[in-house]
């Protein structure tokens, strides 16, 4: 029966890769995009889980067990985990499936996550669990505390989720349709490996997989459903000790995620080994360690806590996901910034743009290309309309600092984000578009899989026009965005 873990994991990895399913992004968007659209997808998973697991429990098929609530460990661990997943570029499940896409940075983060979780569970850091997790309160689930059937909360979460889905689907329909890549396949192959999977459909499928996972896992003696942290720790422990106790259904589940995402990435042309730069490699190491330590303290990651424990309406699950979100918010404030932040003062006339009567190098600008204000102050007669004609004198970057952009001519500017992980291509693009003039084009080269959805959606939402969007080899893309506002 252990083989069912591999099968469930493979399906989950395939679905997550094709649906760009990333809880880190969902939580991050609250702070960076001011939207709860992604969190709504997480609520879809929780709602489907809640219906399925409550039904299975009511029928006596499974017997979930929830321990007493350890508030300090859950809050501190959740915040640390939230900080770590932003540094690593993905949560626990996201790191597993992105490893299947060939991201070496995710491989690094995954190794550090598994090792640190193993050290916390079984190794020299295990005493830290007793130190912080020793304080508990006698509280397991909200329905148990209130003495009501969990179906009350199941109905509540389903209604709230349905209302939020309706709201964001309506908003999506009111927004111009984002550009998509030209199809190269037809039929089922196109639907499964090319056509972008809808946000909420993917979430519903992930929820169904989670419901199916629990009884299959329980049949092997493991009273749990989807989970990433302990299985990841077990992988590291089994590799280093060959202890048969560490070879279980959960281990095959996470290995299956890797297999499934690799299959999906190869089928869609999105697999390529991508080596991070030094800065991202360091972030992957630090993020992976923080993920392992934080998830063990919190009692689970964004899957174990954010999808499973929340659907059981445990205090641990809901407090943990809030703490993780706070950690993500803090990390977004600290680290998610463009390399060369746009300064509105760059738009102001200066001695470098020739509006003071010089060409920015000490030479004098001809009167016929001088602005009225500059001519008046210099005592020179204005011979033509008071507009600075930068083309006439060959000035480069006269009106605005194009920091980091390559001038391709004819109002086209190239931005290279190859090697940057999500959400940096979007962060840099939003900053760069403000550096160019309305009507100019920003040519963005990127190899971040998640950006294939984020960039065209941003362009459509913010009123910019996508003039080109195409794949360049395996796991490489280019998108041209004409500034609209």
Here the CATH number for the domain that contains residue 457 is 3.30.110.40
pLDDT confidence band for 128 (50 / 70 / 90): confident
Three-state DSSP state, 443: strand
239 and 357 fall within a common domain: no
158 and 292 fall within a common domain: yes
**Other beta carbons less than 10 A from residue 399's beta carbon:** 16
pLDDT at position 441 is 96
pLDDT at position 346 is 55
Q: What is the pLDDT of residues 68-108, one digit of tens each?
A: 999 999 999 999 999 999 999 999 999 999 999 999 999 99
pLDDT at position 110 is 97
372 and 406 fall within a common domain: no
Closest CA to 108 of 234, 301, 290, 281: 281
pLDDT at position 453 is 92
Tell whether 392 is covered by a domain.
Answer: no
Q: DSSP state, 176?
A: P
DSSP 74-99: HHHHHHHHHHHHHHHTS-HHHHHHHH
The gap from C-alpha 407 to its chain's centroid, in whole angstroms, comes to 30
pLDDT at position 401 is 52
d(CA 458, CA 371): 36
Q: Give the least confident one: 94-98, 354-358, 449-453, 468-472.
A: 354-358
Q: How many CA atoms lie within 13 A of 423 on its CB side?
A: 26
- The Cα-based distances of 211 to 105, 224, 396 in angstroms read 31, 11, 60
Q: Give the least confident one: 235-244, 345-354, 358-367, 417-426.
A: 358-367
Q: What are φ and ψ of residue 196, in 5° steps?
A: -60, 130
pLDDT at position 372 is 35
Q: What is the pLDDT of residues 203-246, one digit of tens each?
A: 999 999 999 999 999 999 999 999 999 999 999 999 999 999 99
Q: What is the pTM of this model?
A: 0.85
Tell whether 421 is covered by a domain.
Answer: yes
Q: Which domain holds residue 359?
A: 348-387
Over residues 22-31, the mean pLDDT reads 94
Q: Give the least confident one: 255-269, 309-323, 396-410.
A: 396-410
Checking if the pLDDT of 344 tops 50, the result is: yes
314 and 192 fall within a common domain: yes
Q: What is the pLDDT of residues 293-318, one digit of tens each?
A: 999 999 999 999 999 999 999 999 99
Q: Which residue in 91, 301, 422, 448 is the catalytic one?
A: 422
d(CA 458, CA 483): 12
- Cβ(179)–Cβ(460) below 8 Å: yes
Q: DSSP state, 304?
A: I
Closest CA to 30 of 322, 325, 426, 319: 325
Three-state DSSP state, 163: helix
pLDDT at position 337 is 85
**In angstroms, what is the C-alpha Rg of the chain?**
26
Tell whether 341 is covered by a domain.
Answer: no
Checking if the pLDDT of 263 tops 60, the result is: yes
369 and 291 fall within a common domain: no
Q: DSSP state, 361?
A: S
What's the whole-number average pLDDT of the chain?
88
161 and 286 fall within a common domain: yes
Checking if the pLDDT of 464 tops 50, the result is: yes
pLDDT at position 130 is 81
Tell whether 342 is covered by a domain.
Answer: no
Query: What is the pairing mode between strands 412-416 and 441-446?
Result: parallel
Tell whether 117 is covered by a domain.
Answer: yes
364 vs 419, higher pLDDT: 419
Tell whether 393 is covered by a domain.
Answer: no
328 and 353 fall within a common domain: no
Tell whether 343 is covered by a domain.
Answer: no
352 and 326 fall within a common domain: no
Number of domains in the chain: 3
Helix axes 249-267, 3-19, angle to 10 degrees: 40
74 and 7 fall within a common domain: yes
| Total count of residues recorded for the chain | 485
Q: H or E stretch including 470?
A: strand 465-471
Q: What are φ and ψ of residue 2, in 5° steps?
A: -60, -30
Q: What are φ and ψ of residue 182, in 5° steps?
A: -65, 135
pLDDT at position 87 is 94
| CB neighbour list of residue 208: distance below 8 Å, 6 or more residues apart | 48, 52
pLDDT at position 361 is 41
Closest CA to 43 of 207, 212, 221: 207
Task: Find the farthest-apart pair of alpha carbons in the chain and give their distance in angstroms, rounded.
Answer: 92
pLDDT confidence band for 373 (50 / 70 / 90): very low
Tell whether 357 is covered by a domain.
Answer: yes
pLDDT at position 253 is 98
Q: How many CA atoms lie within 13 A of 110 on its CB side?
A: 23
422 part of the active site: yes
Asked whether the CA dihedral 143, 144, 145, 147 is positive or negative, the reply is positive
Q: What is the pLDDT of residues 133-170, one digit of tens each?
A: 888 999 999 999 999 999 999 999 999 999 999 999 99
45 and 67 fall within a common domain: yes
41 and 88 fall within a common domain: yes
pLDDT at position 380 is 34
Residue that finishes a domain, picked among 313, 335, 357? 335
226 and 123 fall within a common domain: yes
């Amino acid at each position: 029966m252990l083989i069912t873990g591999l099968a469930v994991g493979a399906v989950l990895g395939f679905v997550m890769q094709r649906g760009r399913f990333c809880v880190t992004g969902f939580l991050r968007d609250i702070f960076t995009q001011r939207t709860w659209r992604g969190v709504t997808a997480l609520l879809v998973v929780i709602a489907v889980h809640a219906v399925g697991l409550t039904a299975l429990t009511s029928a006596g098929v499974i017997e979930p067990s929830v321990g007493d609530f350890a508030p300090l460990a859950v809050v501190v661990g959740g915040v640390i985990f939230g900080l770590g997943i932003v540094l690593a570029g993905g949560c626990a499940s996201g790191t597993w499936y992105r490893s299947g896409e060939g991201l070496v940075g995710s491989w690094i983060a995954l190794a550090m996550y598994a090792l640190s979780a193993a050290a916390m569970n079984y190794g020299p850091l295990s005493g830290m669990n007793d130190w912080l997790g020793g304080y508990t309160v006698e509280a397991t689930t909200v329905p148990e505390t209130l003495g009501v059937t969990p179906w009350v909360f199941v109905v509540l979460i389903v209604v709230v989720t349905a209302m939020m889905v309706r709201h964001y689907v309506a908003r999506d329909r009111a927004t111009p349709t984002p550009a998509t890549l030209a199809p190269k396949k037809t039929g089922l192959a196109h639907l499964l490996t090319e056509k972008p999977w809808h946000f909420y459909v993917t979430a519903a499928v992930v929820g169904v997989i989670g419901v199916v996972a629990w009884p299959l896992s329980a049949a092997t003696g493991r009273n749990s459903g989807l989970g990433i942290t302990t299985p990841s720790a077990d992988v590291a422990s089994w590799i280093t000790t060959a202890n048969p106790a560490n070879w279980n259904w959960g281990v095959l589940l996470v290995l299956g995620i890797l297999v499934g995402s690799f299959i999906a990435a190869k089928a869609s042309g999105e697999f390529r080994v991508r080596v991070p730069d030094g800065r991202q490699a360091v972030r992957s190491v630090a993020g992976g360690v923080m993920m392992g330590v934080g998830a063990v303290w919190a009692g689970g990651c964004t899957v174990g806590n954010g999808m499973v424990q929340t659907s059981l309406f445990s205090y641990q699950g809901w407090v943990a996901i809030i703490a993780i979100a706070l950690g993500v918010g803090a990390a977004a404030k600290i680290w998610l910034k463009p390399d060369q932040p746009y300064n509105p003062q760059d738009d102001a006339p200066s001695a470098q743009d020739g509006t003071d009567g010089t060409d920015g190098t000490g030479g004098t600008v001809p009167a016929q290309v001088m602005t009225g204000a500059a001519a008046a102050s210099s005592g020179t007669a204005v011979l033509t309309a008071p507009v600075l004609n930068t083309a006439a004198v060959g000035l480069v970057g006269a009106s605005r600092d194009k920091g980091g952009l390559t001038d391709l001519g004819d109002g086209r500017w190239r931005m290279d984000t190859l090697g940057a992980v999500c959400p940096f291509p979007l962060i840099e693009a939003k900053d760069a578009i403000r550096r160019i003039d309305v009507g100019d084009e920003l040519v963005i080269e990127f190899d971040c899989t998640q950006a294939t959805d984020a960039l065209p959606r941003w362009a459509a939402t913010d009123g910019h026009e996508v003039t080109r969007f195409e794949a360049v080899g395996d796991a490489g893309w280019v998108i041209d965005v004409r500034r609209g506002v």
